[in-house]
Amino acid sequence: MEDLMGILKSLNREQREAVGLLQIGTFLEYFDLMLYVHMAVLLNELFFPKTDPHTAALVTAFAFCSTYVLRPFGALFFGWLGDNIGRKSTVIITTMMMSFSCIVMATLPTYAQIGIAASWIVTFCRMVQGLSSMGEIVGAEIYLTESIKEPQSYTAVSLISVSSALGTMGALGVASLVTRSGFDWRVAFWIGAGIAVVGSVARTRLRETPEFLEMKKRKKELVGSIENVLVKGSKLRKNLVNYFYADCSCALMFYLAFIFFTPILQELGCSSQDIILQNFILSIFSFVCYLTLVYLSTFVHPLKVLNFRSKFYFLMVLLLPVLITQCRSRYYVFFLQILLVVAGGGSIPADPIFIKSIKVEKRVTLLTLKYAFSRIVTHIGSAFGLIYLTKVFGYWGLWGIALPVSCAYILAVRHFERLEGLRPDKPTPIKEERVLGKAA
């Protein structure tokens, strides 16, 4: 850990403050966002009508996916805000929206009290949370990428993901405490609302990123030939598509690790409280895994780390249907969940490399749209698609979604390895493209 501390100490005071404030804000945001996700096994029974098991599975899928439905609109709004007004405004407004939704859910009457209105209101709140989360982690990662140079940015940006994992762990910890101790579940949402307000106030201390200010200054002076613009646009699309593939892999593994096994655990006799507690322990492993990735980024090239993870990811996808058929106890299920968390997917700790491949003028818009659609496609496809695929093909139906995602993930990592000059069949290195981006 000395290498990690050394990198953080090498940053100037303003950079260290930005890292700290964005970490705190991301922790608070993800605490609020994940509170309902992981308490859904309990809260869906309070806010939605009781139905047969198949319909209940569809209701659960709907409640889970409602967070992601409006994300493209959030991406357009926060993208415009981030690219035209500033990165700072984006991360402040998103935290305020999260606080509002938590306050509403903390005071919302249940289905037994006001009927179907409770279902619609809680779904609306989940959509607001999805909107606000759009500009949160993407905005924080872009902010640090533009404020800190490589290789220090590998560590700084990866710490944002550590904070999101810590927020998830905190949400699960509070959810487990509330449900197992007999406290009112609304206490958890009041805690979430309170800390979201603290996060909003703390982020007002941030300054705008130097790269954004430079872009605004030279925006009217940018000129370039049609040929360079076309070449740049072609490369931009490839970079964006491959970044999208990497995001899909992360979203799928999150769903499989934390959501997919809920019906299996219930069949094994686990209560809602047992499932929440098990996911809380799993979130601790997830947090440790993220910390390990941050540490590795201090002495191993991030893309080499991703190369190994993408291959392990593919191996887990191949073996998963066979492994699930052997489920006989909750401890075996927990072992599988840990393997999925380790496989992980995504672009951590290479996010600065991926982010820098997108031109600064449209960076927030394009990356938030990429983030939104990767979650919509993957989570909706997983939540609804796997219900029918596994019903028809058994657990082999997992391959219908997981195999294409895992193959695309491997191709995405190889694409960025070529851009960074880490593969022999490389085209123009990404650093030259960044220069073109400034000249175009």
- What are the pLDDT digits (tens) for 33-92? 777 776 766 677 777 777 666 666 666 566 556 566 666 777 777 777 777 776 667 767
Helices 87-107 and 71-80: crossing angle, nearest 10°? 140
Domains of the chain: 2-439 (1.20.1250.20)
Residue with tokens 């995504």: 346
32 versus 382: the higher-pLDDT residue is: 382
Tell me which residue of 218, 174, 217, 214 sits closest to 195, measured CA to CA.
174
Burial classification of residue 258, based on how many CB atoms lie within 10 Å of its CB (0-12 exposed, 13-18 middle, 19 or more buried): buried
pLDDT in tens, 83-128: 777 666 776 777 777 777 778 888 888 888 888 888 888 878 877 7
Tell me which residue of 191, 185, 19, 195 sits closest to 110, measured CA to CA.
185
Q: How far apart are the C-alpha atoms of 389 and 382, rounded to whole Å? A: 10
Q: Is residue 21 within 8 Å of residue 143, measured between CB atoms?
A: no
Question: Residue 368 above 90 pLDDT?
Answer: no
Q: To the nearest whole number, what is the mean pLDDT of the chain? A: 79
Helices 2-9 and 152-181: crossing angle, nearest 10°? 110
Tell me which residue of 20, 4, 288 sits closest to 154, measured CA to CA.
4
Question: Residue 205 above 90 pLDDT?
Answer: no
Q: How far apart are the C-alpha atoms of 199 and 102, rounded to whole Å? A: 14
What pLDDT does residue 397 have? Answer: 92
What b/e sequence results for 350-373 when a residue is b if at least 16 CB atoms lie within 10 Å of its CB, and e otherwise?
Answer: bbbbbbbbbbbbbbbbbbbbbbbb
Structure tokens at 327: 């489920």
Give how far Cα 99 sits from Cα of 36, 46, 126, 192, 425, Å.
Answer: 13, 21, 12, 7, 49
Give how far Cα 84 sits from Cα of 97, 132, 179, 199, 431, Å.
Answer: 20, 18, 44, 23, 25
Phi-psi region of 345 (alpha: psi -120 to 50; beta: other; left: phi over 0): left
Structure tokens at 438: 């400034």
Q: Is residue 137 within 8 Å of residue 290, measured between CB atoms?
A: no
Q: Is residue 426 within 8 Å of residue 419, measured between CB atoms?
A: yes
What pLDDT does residue 223 have? Answer: 41
What pLDDT does residue 54 have? Answer: 61
Give how far Cα 353 sits from Cα of 51, 150, 306, Å.
Answer: 47, 9, 12
